[in-house]
Amino acid sequence: MENTKDLTEHTSRAERKRRDSFGMFDGYDSCSEDTSSSSSSDESEEEVAPLPSSLPIIKNNGQVYTYPDGKSGMATCEMCGMVGVRDAFYSKTKRFCSVSCSRSYSSNSKKASILARLQGKPPTKKAKVLQKQPLVAKLAAYAQYQATLQNQAKTKAAAVPVEGFSWGNYINSNSFTAAPVTCFKHAPMGTCWGDISEGVRVEVPNTDCSLPTKVFWIAGIVKLAGYNALLRYEGFENDSSLDFWCNVCGSDIHPVGWCATSGKPLVPPRTIQHKYTNWKAFLVKRLTGAKTLPPDFSQKVSESMQYPFKTSMRVEVVDKTHLCRTRVAVVESVIGGRLRLVYEESEDKNDDFWCHMYSPLIHHIGWSRSIGHRFKRSDITKKQDGHFDAPPHLFMKVKEVDAAGEWFKEGMKLEAIDPLNLSAICVATIRKVLADGYLMIGIDGSEAADGSDWFCYHATSPSIFPVGFCEINMIELTPPRGYAKLPFKWFDYLRETDSIAAPVKLFNKEVPNHGFHVGMKLEAVDLMEPRLVCVATVTRIIHRLLRIHFDGWEDEYDQWVDCESPDLYPVGWCQLTGYQLQPPAPQSSRDSQSSSSKQKKKAKSQQYKGHKKMTSLQLKEELLDGEEYSFLQGASDQESNGSASYYIKQEP
Q: DSSP of 464-517, one letter per residue?
A: EE-TTHHHHTT--EEPPTT--S-S--HHHHHHHHT--BPPGGGS----------
For a pLDDT cut of 90, what percent of the chain falls above it?
57
Given a cut of 70, whether residue 568 has pLDDT beyond it is: yes
* Nearest-angstrom CA–CA distance, 136 and 97: 9
pLDDT of residue 449: 83
Helix (H) or strand (E) holding 455: strand 455-458
Helix (H) or strand (E) holding 591: helix 587-605
Q: Which residue has the higher pLDDT, 475 or 601?
A: 475
Number of CB atoms found within 10 A of residue 407's CB: 16
Given a cut of 80, whether residue 355 has pLDDT beyond it is: yes
pLDDT of residue 93: 72
* Nearest-angstrom CA–CA distance, 494 and 492: 6
Closest C-alpha to 516, from 185, 172, 168: 185
Q: Quick one: how far is CA 37 from the chain centroid?
A: 54
Please give the average per-residue pLDDT across 616-631, as a whole number. 36
pLDDT of residue 84: 63
pTM recorded for the entire structure: 0.70
**pLDDT tens across 128-157, in order?**
333 334 444 434 444 433 433 343 333 333
* Nearest-angstrom CA–CA distance, 260 and 24: 5
Give 26's pLDDT tier (boundaries 50, 70, 90).
Answer: very low
pLDDT of residue 385: 77
* Nearest-angstrom CA–CA distance, 468 and 649: 7
Backbone angles phi, psi at 437, to 5 degrees: 90, 5
Please give the average per-residue pLDDT across 530-551, as a whole number. 97
How many helices (H) and strands (E) the chain has is answered by 15, 29
Backbone angles phi, psi at 14, to 5 degrees: -65, -40
Given a cut of 70, whether residue 582 has pLDDT beyond it is: yes
- Is residue 357 a contact partner of residue 307, using CB atoms and an 8 Å limit? yes
* Distance set, CA 338 to CA 98, 313, 333, 420 (Å): 55, 14, 8, 21
pLDDT of residue 623: 32
Helix, strand, coil percent content, the chain, rounded in steps of 5: 25, 25, 55
Given a cut of 80, whether residue 6 has pLDDT beyond it is: no
Q: Which residue has the higher pLDDT, 548 or 64?
A: 548
Geometric angle at alpha carbon 90, from 84 and 96, rounded to 5°: 65
* Nearest-angstrom CA–CA distance, 541 and 475: 11
Q: Which residue has the higher pLDDT, 191 or 4?
A: 191
Please give the average per-residue pLDDT across 465-471, as a whole number. 97
For a pLDDT cut of 70, what percent of the chain falls above it?
65
Please give the average per-residue pLDDT across 295-310, as a whole number. 95
* Nearest-angstrom CA–CA distance, 226 and 167: 10
Please give the average per-residue pLDDT across 528-550, as a whole number. 97
Q: How many CA atoms lie within 13 A of 190 on its CB side?
A: 19
* Nearest-angstrom CA–CA distance, 575 and 245: 12
- Is residue 201 a contact partner of residue 234, using CB atoms and an 8 Å limit? yes
Given a cut of 50, whether residue 518 has pLDDT beyond it is: yes
Please give the average per-residue pLDDT across 520-543, as a whole number. 97
Closest C-alpha to 466, from 532, 393, 413: 413
269 Cβ contact partners less than 8 Å away, ≥ 6 residues apart? 206, 208, 209, 217, 233, 235, 236, 242
- Is residue 46 a contact partner of residue 92, using CB atoms and an 8 Å limit? yes
* Nearest-angstrom CA–CA distance, 15 and 529: 61
Q: What's the full length of the chain, in residues?
A: 652
Cis peptide before 487 (omega within 30 of 0): yes
Closest C-alpha to 510, from 559, 456, 461: 461
Give 638's pLDDT tier (boundaries 50, 70, 90).
Answer: very low
- Is residue 510 a contact partner of residue 461, using CB atoms and an 8 Å limit? no
* Nearest-angstrom CA–CA distance, 105 and 98: 11
pLDDT of residue 350: 87
Backbone angles phi, psi at 255, to 5 degrees: -70, 155
pLDDT of residue 596: 52
pLDDT of residue 606: 31
Please give the average per-residue pLDDT across 25-35, as a whole number. 38
pLDDT of residue 412: 97
pLDDT of residue 164: 77
DSSP three-state, residue 433: strand
The mean of the pLDDT values for the chain is 76
**pLDDT tens across 56-113, in order?**
333 333 333 333 333 345 666 766 666 666 666 666 677 777 766 666 565 444 344 3
Most confident residue range from 149-153, 314-318, 383-387, 404-408: 314-318
- Is residue 252 a contact partner of residue 205, using CB atoms and an 8 Å limit? yes
Give 451's pLDDT tier (boundaries 50, 70, 90).
Answer: confident
Helix axes 99-106, 110-119, angle to 10 degrees: 110
* Nearest-angstrom CA–CA distance, 27 and 519: 44
- Is residue 490 a contact partner of residue 467, using CB atoms and an 8 Å limit? yes
306 Cβ contact partners less than 8 Å away, ≥ 6 residues apart? none
pLDDT of residue 398: 92
Give 463's pLDDT tier (boundaries 50, 70, 90).
Answer: very high
**pLDDT tens across 240-281, in order?**
999 999 999 999 999 999 999 999 999 999 999 989 989 989
Lowest-confidence region among 36-45, 205-214, 316-325, 483-492: 36-45
**DSSP assignment letter at 133:** H
pLDDT of residue 573: 97
DSSP code per residue over 16-70: HHHHHHH---SS---SPPP--S---TT--PPPPPPPPTTS-EEEETTEEEE---S
Handedness of CA 356, 360, 366, 369 (dihedral sign): negative
Number of CB atoms found within 10 A of residue 354's CB: 20
Residue 252's identity, in one-letter code, is D
Closest C-alpha to 464, from 512, 429, 511: 429
pLDDT of residue 346: 83
Q: Quick one: how far is CA 454 from the chain centroid?
A: 35
Please give the average per-residue pLDDT across 398-414, as a whole number. 93
- Is residue 62 a contact partner of residue 35, using CB atoms and an 8 Å limit? yes
Exposed, middle or buried by CB within 10 Å (0-12, 13-18, 19+), for 508? buried
pLDDT of residue 76: 67
Closest C-alpha to 398, from 432, 416, 430, 371: 371
Please give the average per-residue pLDDT across 173-197, as a whole number. 95
Please give the average per-residue pLDDT across 578-583, as a whole number. 95
Exposed, middle or buried by CB within 10 Å (0-12, 13-18, 19+), for 56? middle
Given a cut of 80, whether residue 643 has pLDDT beyond it is: no
Backbone angles phi, psi at 592, to 5 degrees: -80, -10
pLDDT of residue 503: 96
